[in-house]
Amino acid sequence: MSWDSYVNTLMAHELIEEVAIWGKTPGQESQWAATPGLSNISVAEIKRLAGDSNALRCCGPHVGGMKCMFIRDNSDDPQVLSMDLKSVKDEQGNSHSVCVGVCKTAFVIVKGTPASNGGTLAEALFKTIKYLKDSGC
């Protein structure tokens, strides 16, 4: 399976700036595909995202070294299937919405443009996550 095609499809959305697809099976966490801006996500960051969402609410996660606030977990909602995060402001004063699509064995992570919000990212990501989840991924 070419994960790059999923990255390219998501990158075609005007409000998506970066994409990464990671395996999240315990002990097998690995990057399957990523654009340059999210190629530095670490195994520790993936393990934290895969852990208890209550712990994420207390002390937000990092995604590719970017500190984020945990907004909501809709990964069990069959109409959403994702978690919403918001980055702290970068050097230019911009914050970014980050949406983490959750499948059985993978995360699909999208970072939005400064103009995006979690709802539009979740909507853009949903079709891909739904397809992967229905395929057993």
Distance CA 44, CA 32 (A): 16
Distance CA 102, CA 50 (A): 9
Question: Total structural domains in the chain?
Answer: 1
Distance CA 136, CA 117 (A): 28
Location of structure tokens 């960051």 = 45
Whole-number pLDDT of residue 16: 97
User: Tokens for 113?
Assistant: 């443009």
Q: Which residues contact 53 (CB under 8 A, 6 or more apart)?
A: 70, 73, 83
Domain of 36, CATH number, reads 3.30.450.30
Whole-structure pTM over 0.75, yes or no?
A: yes
Q: Which residues contact 122 (CB under 8 A, 6 or more apart)?
A: 74, 80, 82, 84, 99
- Mean pLDDT for the stretch of residues 101-121: 94
Location of structure tokens 């230019």 = 92
**Residues of the domain holding 12:** 3-134
Per-residue pLDDT tens digits for 10-55: 999 999 999 999 999 999 999 999 999 999 999 999 999 998 878 8
State the chain's mean pLDDT as an integer: 93
- Mean pLDDT for the stretch of residues 81-107: 93
- Confidence band for 1, pLDDT divided at 50, 70 and 90: low
